[in-house]
Structure 1
Amino acid sequence: MNSAMNTTTPLCLLFDCDGTLVDSEILLAEVMGEILPEFGLPFSARQYMDEFRGVRFQTIVQTLESRFQALEEGKFPQLEAGMRARMEARMRAELVSIPGMTAALEELSSHPKAVVSNGPERKIRCALESTELGHHFADRLFSAYTLNVWKPDPELYRKAAAAMGYAPQACVVIDDAAVGVEAGLAAGMHVIHLNHFPNEEVTPKGAIGIHHASELPAAIARLNL
């Protein structure tokens, strides 16, 4: 949904985290490219970026098991715990915000905001702490692991909107990954696709495509007319 709506109330902004607020995707790709082969599942960082950005970790593992071989019984918790620990260490040491996002958030200070992520809440908090973006969102964090629903299921964004006190049509989803854009559109929300790879990815019909976070305030202003 990308038509303007008449309202005197600022739209509620629902931000994805990884790849939208923070530049964590390549770190996650590298961590997965290291640890999955250690458990007998062939994988590369490039494969994550090409095929699995934004996808739930368990779904990635299940897809690889179907292609190659099943994990040894009881090994998934060990694999996930190892991945999370390595990723948190990388984030605390190396994570930065998406270029232009800090300034965009400041410019959008009058809008209610929340983070809606397929990642665990601990990872969301780590990302916001590491990049000093947390004050824009306080505790308005909605994790798929807490709500037990993952993008592309639109219910994750719907639950976040309801908790924020907004109808779907009064919300804007800002997401970089296909699963998030799909979820936002299916939820009946305005969707802004932060498309980092315009030569490789097409913004779906119904979503607004931007290529840099600096374009975000103007795109939201047009929706809020």
Structure 2
Amino acid sequence: MSPANGPHPALCLLFDCDGTLVDSEILLAEVMGAILPEFSLPFSAQQYMEEFRGVRFHTIVQTLESRFQALGEGEFAKLEAGMRARMEARMRAELVAIPSMPATLDQLSHYPKAVVSNGPERKIRCALESTELGHHFDDKLFSAYTLNVWKPDPELYRKAAAAMGYAPEACVVIDDAAVGVEAGLAAGMHVIHLNHFPNEEVTPEGAIGIHQANELPAAIARLLTDVIAKSRSPSAL
């Protein structure tokens, strides 16, 4: 049975969400660039894109507090609630899938797959609903907020793999952000870096770099061939 058309029990695909499945990063950057200064934390959309893509919101705020000033009592909760509400409204009105990702997921339909994100589950669901990608994942959603562990800690991907019933070495992480690529490599998984900024970012050693979502099927097919070959080698018996 060919890798292009048959079932693929040898590999499980673990997709990041923001910036990998959906084009939400610029929306989040703009929302943060607007709301953080309202709480006396200087910030810009460009700063998010250059320094904080994929980073936990609480970590971003803590970093800004260390640079400028601490929030007052109860202010973080108000800030986060306001950010989440604005972001959800922007997502439902404007969010689109990463170019060619819907067709790519169709081509990868025989692989078991899940979404593994540093975002809250509500945000993941909003993203998948807004872009009509949810049916590809059969509600296999793993949120850092639910599991209480955030990338770049590899445990988030490890917990997702265990829940899917796959060993780390049988999983492929697809992630656009440095924190996710780092987490996948540290978890002992195959990693495909969807590098949207090849002139500015370098794919780390050990990861496979691609620039467009439509490159994914071929990259995964090559990994599958390698995994099957290794499993059949005399040393694996």
One fold, TM greater than 0.5? yes
For 2:34 and 2:138, how far apart are their aligned partners in 1?
33
For 2:143 and 2:208, how far apart are their aligned partners in 1?
24
For 2:219 and 2:197, how far apart are their aligned partners in 1?
19
Aligned to 2:95: 95
**What's the offset of the Cα at 1:213?**
0.2
Aligned to 2:16: 16
Aligned to 1:5: none
**What's the offset of the Cα at 1:10?**
3.8
Deviations 1:186-214 (A, max 9, x none): 00000000000000000000000000000
**What's the offset of the Cα at 1:72?**
1.0
Aligned to 2:27: 27
For 2:11 and 2:92, how far apart are their aligned partners in 1?
32
What does 1:120-159 align with in structure 2 at a 5 Å threshold? 120-159=120-159
Paired residue type of 1:202 = V
Measured on the aligned residues, the alpha-carbon RMSD in Å equals 1.0
For 1:184 and 1:223, how far apart are their aligned partners in 2?
15
Tell me, yes or no, if the aligned pair for 2:185 and 2:191 is still in contact at 8 Å: yes
Aligned to 1:55: 55
Residues matched between the structures, number = 219
SS in 2 for 1:41: coil
For 2:110 and 2:11, how far apart are their aligned partners in 1?
9
For 1:10 and 1:82, how far apart are their aligned partners in 2?
43
Match status 1:180 vs 2:175: no
Q: Which moved more, 1:9-18 or 1:173-182?
A: 9-18
Tell me, yes or no, if the aligned pair for 1:115 and 1:137 is still in contact at 8 Å: yes
For 2:165 and 2:10, how far apart are their aligned partners in 1?
13
* Structure of greater relative contact order (alpha carbons < 8 Å, 6+ residues apart): 1
**What's the offset of the Cα at 1:9?**
2.4
Paired residue type of 1:83 = M
The TM-score, its normalising length taken from structure 2, stands at 0.91
The TM-score, its normalising length taken from structure 1, stands at 0.96
**What's the offset of the Cα at 1:73?**
1.3
Match status 1:168 vs 2:173: no
For 1:135 and 1:28, how far apart are their aligned partners in 2?
24
* Identity %, equivalent residues: 87
Match status 1:223 vs 2:223: yes
Tell me, yes or no, if the aligned pair for 2:9 and 2:112 is still in contact at 8 Å: no
Match status 1:114 vs 2:111: no
Aligned to 1:79: 79
Match status 1:211 vs 2:211: yes
**What's the offset of the Cα at 1:139?**
1.1
For 2:15 and 2:138, how far apart are their aligned partners in 1?
13
Aligned to 1:4: none
After the TM superposition, list the runs of 4 or more consecutive aligned residues in structure 1 that deviate by more than 2 angstroms. Answer: none
Deviations 1:82-136 (A, max 9, x none): 0000000000000000001001100000000000000000000000000000000
Q: Which runs of 5 or more residues in structure 1 are unaligned?
A: 1-7
Q: Which runs of 5 or more residues in structure 2 are unaligned?
A: 1-7, 226-237
SS in 2 for 1:224: helix
Paired residue type of 1:66 = S
Tell me, yes or no, if the aligned pair for 1:10 and 1:112 is still in contact at 8 Å: no
